[in-house]
A and B are shown apart, each in its own frame.
Chain A
Amino acid sequence: MIREDLREKRLFFDGGMGTLLQEKGLKAGELPEIWNLEHSEEVISIHQAYIEAGSDIILTNTFGANALKFHDGVYSLEEITKTAVAHGKEAVRRSAGGRNVYVALDVGPTGKLLKPMGDLAFEEAYEAFREVMQYGEEAGADLIHIETMSDTYEIKAAVLAAKENTNLPVFVTAVFDERKKLLTGADVPAFVSLLEGLRVDALGINCGMGPEQMIPILEELQRYSSTPVIVKPNAGLPKQRDGETVFDVEPDAFAQTMRKIAGSGAAVIGGCCGTTPEHIRAMTAVCLEIPYEPAGKKNLTMVSSYGKTVIFGEESKIIGERINPTGKKKFKQALVERDMDYILREGIRQEDNGAHILDVNVGLPDIDEVSMMKEAVTALQGVTSLPLQIDTVDPRAMEEALRVYNGKPMVNSVSGKQESMDAVFPLIQKYGGVVVGLTLDETGIPETADGRVEIAERILKEAEKYGIEKKDIVIDVLAMTVSSEPQGAIVTLEALRRVRRELGVHTVLGVSNISFGLPFRPVINANFYTLALYNGLSAGIINPSSEDMMQSYDAYHALMGLDENCSRYVAKYGAKAAAQKEAAQREAAQKAMTQETAKSLGNAVPGGEKGAEMLSGELTLKTAIERGLKEEAPQMADALLKTEQPLEIINTYLIPALDHVGKGFEEGTVFLPQLLMSADAAKAAFEVLKVKIASEESGTEKKEKIILATVKGDIHDIGKNIVKVLLENYSFDVIDLGKDVAPELILQTAKEQEVRLVGLSALMTTTVASMEETIRLLKKELPECKIMVGGAVLNQEYADMIGADFYGKDAMKSVYYAQELLK
């Protein structure tokens, strides 16, 4: 019923509950929800006052009622929730006088931050919401209003809980700040994309600020939202007076601004903290006459992450293709070993090189793709704010990834095959997403552009049945290899042009397929990419680390007037040109001088001191590592490879340099940042040598495994990460279990991997208990395994007390202990 209402008229919410309860005697620190049972009449009378003031929707007194907050109280969550809804309905019975007034189950945030930043698992948040929502529906609530949210991920858990466990309409509002963002980083389009993907009935803003300050956010919401917008401000900006928070916008002033807000198109309006029935009465009085117009369709193709939104448009987008094992030996190995860091670094590198979206494909025949996909998506969204493209043919992996994804993803892909559409579209319908439609069907890939356009049309039509709009489909007309199909490129380009112009949908293309079987592929790829861009490619799936491709991209946008004043081009290539010039000068200088003269010139040589040292040969690999020169160290390692064997290089330069720095650290002449810079430089050099070693020898030497983990309950991992970097330098194989790790997982891994040393880290007294528990379990089940511990609150005495074998006062001490024990 409320859904029909939203199409026809503006609806009025109620105002604040907390302040009114306080006036009636609620004390600071007392839980307002308890009042549903202990002070029923007071609660009902507040509802009545709002109904009489003109509210069409009243919110139950259940803001903090969720399974996390009410698990061991005097009253059960069920009692609290059901009574709250009953009070709302009773107030309607008493005061609505035949008018339609809806009782909305009020659902506030859990007050906890979700993983990876906090310690609440997505599924736990979901469960906490599910319970209260089910009670709410059972008690007869008319809708669910999820409000005062600060985190898109928590919002997603709440909306899924509502959608999967009830049939009620869902409204969602969040707290934006003056930067027009949520506390956890989402901007307005990211918030809108996520919620429209999940198909909520209305969305908007509440709390945090007064009506005046909400106007810019409302404008932004209306720019992106095709869904009715809710605005529920406080009675002004919160002010501190004598240490208390007060709101000082009076009812009339409040109403006047709300009038403006209604006039600019807000569909559901009401008040939050500090607003009273008087505010609502004044508001409804002046807003009733304002004509109502439902939100218009925006037709924007948007994908989002927790903190970024990518909107398809004239400028083409870059989808990074590197997170994909196809044809990549190292990536395959990383997948098999579940080396998540490798995958994450691949993601960060692409972001740094200019990708807008990251494709994520972790399918390998011999791994569990469902769990791997879930893990990869979760981990990636913890380190990059780029939207992800979930790339899999397994519908189960697709669903798991869609579920845990914090935003509105791209999904790669659906095809014109009925079976594919039957499997994929329901998932898009449920979770939201922009899906890539491949122009192939049961008969294969059509040879003509006509054939591909026809399949694209069929995909769009089928999608419509699920309510999936054109804006949420992007078409891939497929690039065929020109070496085997002479007309391949021409047909693809024509299909691209027509899909874009005739069907009016956006397009993607895996660009580099075009050059299979040809020599020097980058030439073909880059030129085909330019042609594709010119023919309407909205997003190319490419390797952003490929300079040729990026040059095509940058040049195209500069040439086509899509890079204003060529400013991006100039910024990027201006710096490059300068660097090239300098390098050329240095080379000339090098030619002109003998090593001796170079030495005497010192700083005068282009490139400064380092340049001079490199020329003179004074900067050896050893000194480069000692000084932590991350750029130079691998170059020097590479140069040395011309004359020396990799193992020789490691033993003559790398290890002595690390020992030297480590000793300095112990003696207090080298400090932590320097120690780590050296470690990073050594690692970079080692990467170069490793390639050579791998190509020459069949099997490398077997490394000792060490488990590192931050104990359960502890979310600080910087100390553990420092130890990890250093241990890896000394060629230990570190199994990093991350932070907040359960004792059982540590034990299980130690058993499976036959690990002889476990390193545990804990930051606070509160988590040392969990360290002790882990040690106890390991000692009992795996007595031969040694345990070293470290962390801010620990000392030798404490470590002895909890039964650790070794206390690592600093990172180097842990390395020495590991060496002594395992080598």
Chain B
Amino acid sequence: MLETGNKEMLKREAVRYLGYGRHAVDEQTSALIDRSFSDLQSVVNRKSIYRFFDLEWIDPEHVCFGNVHVTSKSLGRNLRGCEKIVLFGATLGIGVDQLIRRKSLTDMADAVVLQACAAALLEEYCDMCQETIAEELRSGGYFLRPRFSPGYGDFSMEHQKSVMQILDCAKTIGLTMTDSYMMSPTKSVTAVIGAGTSDIRCHTKGCEACEKQDCIYRRNTT
């Protein structure tokens, strides 16, 4: 069995990914969501990996860690005040892709709902991992910022390659990348997480930090 936190919250996230916005989910879809979460139980194989690096600031829009240089306004903003950086990779494994692929042939509604449920599971898993990392760093007096993935804002997608190389993702967690920077297994995340000695409370993460205000999948923050 997967250890998951709040079932209700997971479901709420899945509903959001399905584009329901503020609308209540219908009974049939609700049942389908429950079934999808239980189908996913048997195929999900969660793995994650992380490594810390000292963060070197060239200027507010140019940082350096390990042998990687990144120039990005949005990443600079995200990491402001950080001295360390955590490289992070996580995946739900290839079984999820196989299940969705199979369902796409016989039942598209199932496939779409599975997709949304898997996305919710992945986010939750990343949050759990981040909690563990935060705890480890807290003892050294560091506090984490929200995770930030290549492709967010002007943080170029190409840095995904460096992150995956440094973490040796293919070997350690079975996460690979195609020539066009797509992750396989698809239900996977790579990200960097800033760490600084000041405890800046920062609630905006992922969805809310995005500039696309009219997105139908946007989390309801009011």
Could you list which residues of chain A lie within 8 angstroms of chain B, going by C-beta atoms? 27-30, 109, 111-113, 116-119, 148, 150, 175, 177, 179, 183-185, 207, 238, 240, 242-245, 341, 344-345, 348, 382-385, 627-628, 630, 668-669, 671-674, 676-677, 679-680, 713-718, 721-722, 725, 763-767, 770
Contacts and interface: CB of A to CB of B under 8 A. Distances in A.
A716 B186 CA distance: 8
Given A29-B68, A674-B109, A680-B108, 14 more contacts: A29-B66, A112-B177, A119-B184, A183-B45, A238-B172, A348-B102, A385-B98, A628-B109, A668-B21, A671-B26, A673-B112, A716-B186, A718-B112, A765-B157
Interface residues of B, number: 59
B1 to A, nearest CB: 13
Contact of A109 (B170, B179, B184): B170
B32 interface: yes
Contacts of A718: 100, 104, 111-112, 115
Nearest to A676: B109
Contacts of A244: 51-52
A240 B129 CA distance: 13
Interface in B150-197: 151, 157, 162, 165-166, 170-174, 176-182, 184-186
Interface string B181-217: 1101110000000000000000000000000000000
Interface string B44-72: 01010011110000000000001110000
A764 B86 contact: no
Given A27-B67, A679-B108, A713 B94 contact: no
B112 A676 contact: yes
A113 to B, nearest CB: 4
A721 B109 contact: no
A383 B101 contact: yes
Contacts of B172: 238
A118 B166 CA distance: 20
17 contacts: A112-B177, A113-B185, A119-B184, A150-B170, A183-B47, A184-B94, A348-B105, A628-B28, A714-B182, A715-B186, A718-B104, A718-B112, A722-B108, A725-B108, A763-B182, A765-B151, A765-B157
B171 A764 contact: no
B67 A716 contact: no
Contact of B19 (A207, A242, A384, A671): A671
Contact of B104 (A668, A717, A765): A717
Interface in B2-17: none
A183 B174 contact: yes
A669 B94 CA distance: 34
Contacts of B111: 718, 721
Contacts, number: 164
B109 A382 contact: no
Contact of B113 (A150, A668, A673): A673
Contact of A384 (B102, B107, B166): B102
B180 A766 contact: yes
Contact of A28 (B100, B109, B166, B174): B166
B115 to A, nearest CB: 6
A179 B104 contact: no
Contacts of A669: 23
Q: Which 6 A-B pairs have the closest CB atoms?
A: A243-B52, A183-B174, A713-B180, A676-B109, A119-B178, A29-B67
B41 interface: no
A55 to B, nearest CB: 23
A807 to B, nearest CB: 16
A183 B66 CA distance: 28
B176 A767 contact: no
Nearest to B165: A29
A358 B90 CA distance: 34
A606 to B, nearest CB: 20
A185 B94 contact: yes
A704 to B, nearest CB: 21
Nearest to B169: A111
Contacts of B53: 243
B178 A118 contact: yes
Interface string B105-122: 111110111010000000
Given A28-B67, A382-B101, A383-B102, A150 B174 contact: yes
A148 B111 CA distance: 33
B18 A764 contact: no
Given A671-B18, A673-B29, A764-B182, A185 B171 contact: no
B222 to A, nearest CB: 18
Contacts of A113: 94, 176, 184-185
B185 A117 contact: yes
A514 B151 CA distance: 63
Nearest to A181: B45
B93 A183 contact: yes
Contacts of A674: 26, 28-29, 109
Nearest to B186: A716
B66 A345 contact: no
Nearest to A150: B174
B169 to A, nearest CB: 9
Contacts of A722: 108, 112
Contact of B97 (A117, A668, A676): A117
B109 to A, nearest CB: 4
A715 B105 contact: no
Interface centre among B19, B53, B109 (most CB of A within 10 A): B109
B95 interface: yes
Given A27-B67, A764-B181, A767-B180, A671 B20 contact: yes
Contacts of A716: 182, 186
B178 A672 contact: no
A673 B186 CA distance: 21
B102 A672 contact: no
B182 A766 contact: yes
A244 B32 CA distance: 42
Contacts of A185: 94-95, 98
Contacts of B86: 243
A28 B157 contact: no
A242 to B, nearest CB: 6
Nearest to A116: B101
Contacts of A679: 108-109
A19 B100 CA distance: 39
Contacts of A715: 178, 182, 184, 186
A765 B112 CA distance: 22
A385 B101 CA distance: 12
Which residue among B68, B100, B171 has the maximum number of chain A CB atoms within 10 Å of its CB? Answer: B171
A96 to B, nearest CB: 31
B220 to A, nearest CB: 15
A183 B173 CA distance: 8
A111 B169 CA distance: 9
Contacts of A385: 98
Nearest to B107: A680
B102 to A, nearest CB: 5
A766 B109 contact: no
Contact of A671 (B23, B106, B136, B178): B23
Contacts of A714: 180, 182
Given A207-B171, A242-B52, A243-B52, A673 B18 contact: yes
A672 B108 CA distance: 10
A184 B174 contact: yes
A175 B19 CA distance: 39
The residue in B86, B165, B184 that gathers the most chain A C-beta atoms within 10 A of its C-beta is B184
A672 B176 contact: no
A345 B105 contact: yes
B171 A109 contact: yes
Contacts of B45: 177, 179, 183
A341 B179 contact: no
A714 B66 CA distance: 30
B52 A672 contact: no
A680 B25 CA distance: 19
With a 10 A CB-CB cut-off, give which of B18, B26, B50, B105 has the most chain A CB atoms: B105
